[in-house]
Structure 1
Amino acid sequence: MKTRLNLKNDSIIYILDIGSRTGGGEALFQLRTDLENMGYKAMIAFKDDNLNDMTIPDKFKKYVQNPDCICTFSDIRDSRKNCIVVPEVATTYLFRFKKIQMAVWWLSSNYYDGKCRYRNRPEGFFNELKKVYDIAGYIKRCLLRFVQYGKIRYPLENVVNISGYNHVDEILRKKYHLQPVLLIHSIGKDFLENKMSDEEARREREDNVLYNPKKPSKLMESLLQRNKFRYIPIINMNPDEMIALFRKSKLYLDFGPFPGPERLPKETVYNGMNVMVGKRNTATNYLDVRVPDRFKIDVSTPPEKVEKLIKYMLEHHKEIYHEFDDYRNMVENMEKTYYQQLEGIFGCDE
């Protein structure tokens, strides 16, 4: 199986945009800039069925300052010297090519388009119907791919599989029997270039409890309804505003699904906050989410019990601060490791 691309100085690398404007979508845009800095012509390719939504959010514009680095899917040159990178949710698009080198960047395992995906819903007749609908939709997509391409999913052994984090790397090896290579993206330079000292981080902070409303959970909803603490949503903020809020706050909560390591836990802990997460998916892997186990909780835990732990973490922020040093050190070294991994996968052979 391939673990490295065979690129030349004049290779063009296309990165498929799938319309995601979260951390995974930003990682794809950031990859374009990083490859360009390595000397390649790297382009963001919009899907032809997504041309009406080619609006680029402000936080992504720094990655595509030159309009010539944007193209449509139909503009991609299917040549052996070129390469296309797609996220795991869009491997079906690879069927359209014959010659180009291919890489799949697994930023999640939950959303792989080659497997059946359905939500775990509470028991009940209508929820069972929805589950059946999800499965029927998957079967339909498989049949369409088989009729159109002769296969129900694109063969992953024909591409370079890139793991976006350790948890998905384990899944690809054990479940799919692949030989992936790691490429774990760092937090943004806006955060890395504003590193704070331990002394600054341990100064007096406010009893703010931050959360991400875009990653909802029933537990978080219950805590918000009970309103025992000063909860502040992280929303509609630029990096400077986020850093200012992080540096005066004590605790970040994330009980969302954790399909990947998530950026906000890393960005908040790097700015001196302590973190509590739900013990779900990627968050169960210490190599990806280096939160001490006593601060990783089952999302079915009663909210009143979680509130006791929140209270403890707020009252003892300074005392438990160094329990998160391993996490902060990991974030500190991620950028260096990322560029080493990038060179190993995309390094020019000329």
Structure 2
Amino acid sequence: MKVHVLCPASSVTGGPEALHQLVDAGQCLGYDMAMVYLPEDDPDPTPEVFKMYRPRVVREVLDSPDSVVIVPETGTLQFLSLRHATRALWWLSVEHFLMRSEAMRQQQGTAQSPMDFVFDPRFGVVHLAQSEYARLWVERKGASAMMLTDYVRDEIVQRARSLRSGAKEDIVAYNPKKGLEFTRQLMALSPPQIRWVPIENMSPAEVAQLLGRSKVYVDFGPHPGRDRIPREAALCGCVVITNTQGSAGNAIDVPIPPRFKFDERHPLTVPLVLQRIAEAMGDHASLAAEMAPYRAAIEDQRRVFIEEAFVMLSTLEAEHARNRLQRLAA
């Protein structure tokens, strides 16, 4: 069984890193894995930061009965050119699919999106879920998905450990690309001694340094999957505060105590969040200790991911073996 993983070339966001982690895990498990970058015009398409995963790179997708083609939800239309390979769709972000699907529906003026074929049993798409949120969403669409999460790479984990015990300041870190409207409401009513620092225009090392100094990290964005920054913030010793959207809405993807999750639609949420932030500023050690189970889960994600990759690949391999026997018997 040959497995080809499609990945956007030269992209260094969380989704492409998960795709590199999958190729690496599959290679370590002894499977015939390869990365196919799209577009294919770059002679050295593997980003420098991901070369540690040592992906074997091929230029063309193998479309045969004994091959598997894995794509993220942003690449579903790549399936339409396949006739023989097993199609596997990895749901790294539900929202990305929904936005692209809605844009295509409006563009073509149809009631259904052209991307909805992935839920048609006739296409035999295998669904993989990076989050419990995605797994449940796929289930509501009438399909089932195998869990295939991802992990925070060792370099980031080790750096965060070294920063966790350092001196903390009255800083609230936030991602200005996510949930900024609500965060601005918090900032407007926050005491002047608290500094609100956006995570923007920073290198990975600078992000880590900021999180290492911060007492709190807030994230009121859509949480389309298991986002990396909340995990890194927890590893760095921040008290993590989120809303209840997307993957933050369950206790599996973001397993922090319920008292650190808030529904921003409620009229009392702003003062309640500010109260929790004040508690973290006054007694950071106690509140940060409540993040310990979350940190432990994050540090164990690499082991879990390799197990999930093994289950997924061995399941597909067994299915291919059954199909070969059926073809021989026909």
TM-score range, shorter chain: 0.7 to 0.9
Tell me: CA distance 1:59–1:299, structure 2 relative to 1, closer, same or farther (3 Å).
Answer: farther
> What is the CA RMSD across the aligned residues, in angstroms?
3.3
- Partner residue, 1:95: 80
- Partner residue, 1:162: 128
Equivalent pair of 1:17/1:44 in contact (CA under 8 Å): no
- Partner residue, 1:69: 57
2:121 is the counterpart of 1:136: no
- Partner residue, 2:327: none
Which structure has the highest helix share of the two?
Answer: 2
Structure 2 letter corresponding to 1:159: V
Equivalent pair of 1:116/1:138 in contact (CA under 8 Å): no
Matches within 5 A, 1:253-272: 253-272=218-237
Tell me: CA distance 1:190–1:282, structure 2 relative to 1, closer, same or farther (3 Å).
Answer: same
Q: What percentage of residue pairs aligned between the two structures are identical?
A: 25
Aligned-pair distance for 1:190? 1.1
Tell me: CA distance 1:62–1:140, structure 2 relative to 1, closer, same or farther (3 Å).
Answer: farther
Equivalent pair of 2:69/2:86 in contact (CA under 8 Å): yes
Aligned-pair distance for 1:346? 1.5
- Measured in 2, the distance between the counterparts of 1:277 and 1:152 equals 31
Tell me: CA distance 1:138–1:305, structure 2 relative to 1, closer, same or farther (3 Å).
Answer: farther
Tell me: CA distance 1:318–1:111, structure 2 relative to 1, closer, same or farther (3 Å).
Answer: same
2:249 is the counterpart of 1:284: yes
Give the secondary-structure state (helix, strand or coil) at the position aligned to 2:264: coil
- Partner residue, 2:289: 322
- Partner residue, 1:109: 94
Structure 2 letter corresponding to 1:295: F
Structure 2 letter corresponding to 1:91: T
Aligned-pair distance for 1:180? 1.5
Equivalent pair of 2:160/2:208 in contact (CA under 8 Å): no
Tell me: CA distance 1:52–1:117, structure 2 relative to 1, closer, same or farther (3 Å).
Answer: farther
Structure 2 letter corresponding to 1:337: V
Structure 1 letter corresponding to 2:180: S
- Partner residue, 1:339: 306
Equivalent pair of 1:92/1:154 in contact (CA under 8 Å): no
Equivalent pair of 1:260/1:282 in contact (CA under 8 Å): yes
Gaps of 5+ in 2: 322-330
Tell me: CA distance 1:18–1:155, structure 2 relative to 1, closer, same or farther (3 Å).
Answer: farther
Give the counterpart of 1:82 among 67, 77, 83.
67
- Post-superposition CA distance 1:181-240 (Å, at most 9, x none): 11111112212344638xx84564111211122324311233456674212222344444
Between stretches 214-223 and 184-193, larger displacement belongs to 214-223
Aligned-pair distance for 1:179? 2.5
Instruction: Count matched residues.
Output: 311
Aligned-pair distance for 1:285? 0.5
Give the counterpart of 1:213 among 176, 185, 189.
176
Give the counterpart of 1:231 among 164, 189, 196.
196
Give the counterpart of 1:15 among 6, 11, 34.
6
Give the secondary-structure state (helix, strand or coil) at the position aligned to 2:71: strand
- Measured in 2, the distance between the counterparts of 1:221 and 1:114 equals 25
Give the secondary-structure state (helix, strand or coil) at the position aligned to 2:240: strand
Equivalent pair of 1:202/1:318 in contact (CA under 8 Å): no
The structure whose RCO (Cα within 8 Å, separation 6+) is larger is: 1
Equivalent pair of 2:127/2:144 in contact (CA under 8 Å): yes
- Partner residue, 2:324: none
Aligned-pair distance for 1:83? 1.6
Give the secondary-structure state (helix, strand or coil) at the position aligned to 1:80: coil
- Post-superposition CA distance 1:27-54 (Å, at most 9, x none): 1222222223333443332335x85899
- Superposition TM-score, scaled by structure 1 size: 0.76
Structure 2 letter corresponding to 1:338: F
- Partner residue, 2:29: 38
- Post-superposition CA distance 1:287-333 (Å, at most 9, x none): 11112111111223564553333222221211212211221121122
- Measured in 1, the distance between the counterparts of 2:262 and 2:22 equals 33
Structure 1 letter corresponding to 2:8: D
- Superposition TM-score, scaled by structure 2 size: 0.80
Equivalent pair of 2:119/2:141 in contact (CA under 8 Å): no
- Measured in 2, the distance between the counterparts of 1:295 and 1:94 equals 40
- Measured in 1, the distance between the counterparts of 2:183 and 2:42 equals 35
